[in-house]
């Protein structure tokens, strides 16, 4: 399985309407992405989050499925919507098929 985790800190433009629309994008991605196992946007509850207040966590069957999601129209549109409201971002990806190293 391939995991894609995006931790974000938002700026003052990220209001309730922003989060509602972001969740609508997430719902559309859950509905349309192939071989998607998990896709959520949630508040980061870690006490050591260093200001990264929210996380998108996604799991796909394979890295190829993730790559297809990255270039999908809905994901490209979601990124364009969110980027002006992101003050800081950290991306982490791991491929379970590689095993521990």
Q: What is the pLDDT along the chain (101 residues), one digit of tens a residue?
A: 999 999 999 999 999 999 999 999 999 999 999 999 999 999 999 999 999 999 999 999 999 999 999 999 999 999 999 999 999 999 999 998 876 55
Q: Which two tokens stand for residue 80?
A: 């364009």
Say whether domain 2-98 belongs to CATH 3.30.70.100: yes
- All structural domains of the chain with their residue ranges: 2-98
The count of residues in the chain is 101
CA distance 43 to 62: 26
Q: Is residue 55 a contact partner of residue 10, using CB atoms and an 8 Å limit?
A: no
Going by their DSSP bridges, the two strands 54-60 and 2-10 should be labelled as antiparallel
**Strands lying side by side in the sheet with 36-43:** 36-43, 54-60, 2-10, 86-95
Strand partners, 59: 3, 38
Torsion of CA 58, 70, 36, 53, to 10 degrees: 20
Strand partners, 43: 54
Strand partners, 88: 9
Residue 97 has a pLDDT of 82
């Amino acid at each position: 399985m391939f995991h894609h985790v995006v931790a974000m800190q938002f700026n003052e433009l990220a209001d309730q309407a922003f989060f509602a629309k972001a969740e609508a994008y997430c719902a559309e991605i859950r509905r349309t992405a192939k071989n998607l196992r998990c896709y959520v946007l949630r508040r980061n509850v870690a006490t050591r989050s260093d200001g990264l207040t929210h996380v998108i966590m996604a799991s796909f069957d394979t890295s190829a499925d993730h790559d297809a999601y990255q270039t999908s129209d809905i994901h490209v549109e979601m990124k364009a919507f969110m980027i002006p409201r992101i003050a800081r971002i950290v991306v982490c990806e791991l491929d379970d098929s590689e095993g521990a190293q």
